[in-house]
Amino acid sequence: MKALKPSTAIILLETRTLHHGGGATEKSAESFCSLADKIEELVLKIGYSNAQALSVVIQILTVGKVRVDFRDYSQRLQLASKSDMMTRADAAEIFDTYLTQMKVEPQSNTGFTQKITFQSPRNK
């Protein structure tokens, strides 16, 4: 059985798009981050529940990219290397392993509704 890469070794390309009033948008420069950094951001900084963060991670690792929409911005995350794509079970294991290392308590409901939009990749 092949050993799974740690989430710190899986690199993502991130592009954020800011949504201004009246439908105007502004794209930020692309940046790189590790999957571990993104999991931590989703779980701790943004206050996502573990189930929502897991959905994002599984989409990234099984499809190769995901777009997550927030009220005032959206972020497009893509694997820097397609060789990091894996099965759903392996993706869930990587997520669970990182959460165990973080020792995060489950987030309680913060009283607002999150909207996550998953887009299937376009065939070229």
Comparing 23 with 93, which gets the higher pLDDT?
93
Number of neighbouring beta carbons within 10 Å of residue 58: 21
Residue 41 clears pLDDT 80, i.e. is over it? yes
Comparing 49 with 59, which gets the higher pLDDT?
59
- Rounded to an integer, what distance in angstroms lies between the CA atom of residue 113 and that of residue 103? 25
Question: Residue 1: its pLDDT value, please?
Answer: 56
- Rounded to an integer, what distance in angstroms lies between the CA atom of residue 41 and that of residue 18? 17
Residues of the chain above pLDDT 70, percent: 76
pTM of the model: 0.75
- In the three-class reduction of DSSP (H, G, I as helix; E, B as strand; rest coil), residue 81 is classed as coil
Q: How many alpha carbons fall within 13 Å on the CB side of residue 63?
A: 18
- Rounded to an integer, what distance in angstroms lies between the CA atom of residue 50 and that of residue 105? 10
Query: What tens digit of pLDDT does each residue of 86-109 get?
Result: 999 999 999 999 988 876 455 555
Question: 3-state SS of 58-78?
Answer: HHHHHHCEEEEECCCEEEEEE
Question: Residue 8: its pLDDT value, please?
Answer: 93
Residue 31 clears pLDDT 80, i.e. is over it? yes
- In the three-class reduction of DSSP (H, G, I as helix; E, B as strand; rest coil), residue 52 is classed as helix
